[in-house]
Amino acid sequence: MSTPDADGAVTGAVPDREPGRLGRLSARYGRALVTALTLVTVVFLIGPVLVTFVASFFQNWTGLFPSGGLTLQNWAQALGIADTVGAARGLGGFWTFVAPDVLFVLQLPLLPDLTLYFPFDFYIQTPIPMALGFSVLLALLGVFINLLVGVPVAYAVTRYDFRGRRLMNTFAVLPIVPGIILGIAFLKTYPGLPSVIALVLGYSLLKIPYMVLAVQSSFESMDLRQMEESARSLGASWTTTFLRVIVPGAKQGIISGSIICWTLAAAEFNFSYVVYSSGPRPFSLFLFENISNNPFLRAAAAISIYFVIVAAVTALLNYVGENGFSVGGVR
């Protein structure tokens, strides 16, 4: 076989063509234009957030930029740990429920603010930071349920062909019920349901489509049947195969689905507002409390707190996702 003549091959195969006017413009300015557009969008979107964050540490914000001295006062007030006790308590009241027939009261020595009343619930005087932490957990619990339900559903509709598959697929990925409607439905259907349980259930119901969509796209890029059969022929039971091969294979989808679901659950206002009656306040209500009827800088601080928490949880989910699966893998 002779060595192909590179030059000859190129000129022979692809005749030189004069690109059109649009083609020439695109070649010259295309990249710069896209870069500029991206930059403008990012600056336009990130700018206000950044300014808000910075402003939350200042004493004044009347003009375009904040002024006055640096202070932690705004954050302290939003977190309810300011010296002016009255303000925080008056506005943020985190103890709302008093059990009428208390059999006994449990006061934990390590958590002086947490009082447990039996046989009812642990309705409490929760400091705001603790309520926020609790709210993070609430949304995480919702994500956990989303994972338990969403991953198998995504797997089933991708892997198997069964009666009702399309219907299930459609329902699983359509966020059909608005939070406010689901909230009212919950109040009517389960009147005695503690807020905590209602919130977790509601979050998981409302956000499941995002989990299914994200995980499904991962599954679709895998040859599920052949992977499964390989693992089983190597001696893994169906359960082992699912947990050690199939689920870790969808790692990227699971991580992004969890982040999306958590963020959306934390930001879910309508449902939380309708359903919440007692106990630690959900995230979105914390924001609402601080934004309505409060100085602007305190709202800025609350928003900044929210952003810090979102960033932290996103990083956490990402870290757990990237490193957590190897535990189940073969190491």
Partner 1 sequence: MAERVRLDDITKRFDETLAVDDVSLAVEPGETVGLVGPSGCGKTTTLRTVAGFETPTEGRVLFADEEVTHVPPEQRNVGLVFQSYALFDNMTVRENVEFGLKMRDVPETERAERAEELLDLLDIGGMGDRDPTTLSGGQQQRVGLARALAIEPRVLLLDEPMTGLDAKLKTRLQEEIGSLLEEIDVTSLYVTHDQAEAMVMCDRIAVMNDGRIEQVGTPAEIYEAPANGFVADFVGTSNRLDATVRNGELDFGHATVEAPADAPEGEVTVVARPEAFALDGGPVEATVEDRFYLGEHVRVSARTPDDQELTLRFDPEHAPADGRVTLSLDTDRVHLLRG
Could you list the residues that contact partner 1 (CB under 8 A)?
Answer: 222-223, 226-227, 229-237, 240, 245, 248-249, 251, 325-326, 329-331
Least distance (Å) from partner 1 to the CB of residue 9? 16
Q: Which residues contact 252 (CB under 8 A, 6 or more apart)?
A: 218
Of 133 and 248, which CB lies nearer to partner 1 in the complex structure? 248
50's enclosing H/E stretch is: helix 21-55
- CA gyration radius, the chain: 27
What CA–CA distances, in Å, run from 182 to 136, 262, 264, 272?
A: 21, 18, 15, 10
Nearer to partner 1, 5 or 229 (CB): 229
Give whichever of 67 and 326 is closer to partner 1, judged by the CB atom: 326
The CB-of-173 to partner 1 minimum distance in angstroms stands at 24
Closest to partner 1 by CB, 231 or 303: 231
Minimum separation from the CB atom of position 168 to partner 1 (A): 22
Q: Omega before 48 cis (within 30°)?
A: no
Break the chain down into helix, strand, coil percent, rounded to 5: 65, 5, 30
CB of 241 to partner 1, least distance (A): 8
- The DSSP output letter for 56 is T
In this structure, how many other beta carbons lie within 10 angstroms of the beta carbon of residue 134?
18
328 and 244 in contact (C-beta within 8 Å)?
Answer: yes
Of 1 and 110, the one with the shorter C-beta distance to partner 1 is 1
User: Are the CB atoms for 173 and 213 separated by under 8 Å?
Assistant: yes
Distance in Å, CB of 246 to partner 1, minimum: 9
Q: Which one-letter DSSP state was computed for residue 115?
A: E
CB of 159 to partner 1, least distance (A): 14
* Bridge partners of residue 60, in order along the sequence: 67
Cβ distance to partner 1 smaller for residue 159 or 232: 232
**Shortest Å distance, C-beta 95 to partner 1:** 47
Minimal CA–CA distance to 182: which of 274, 314, 78, 256? 274
Name which of 3 and 233 has its Cβ closer to partner 1.
233
- Determine the length of the chain: 331
The DSSP letter of residue 234 is: T
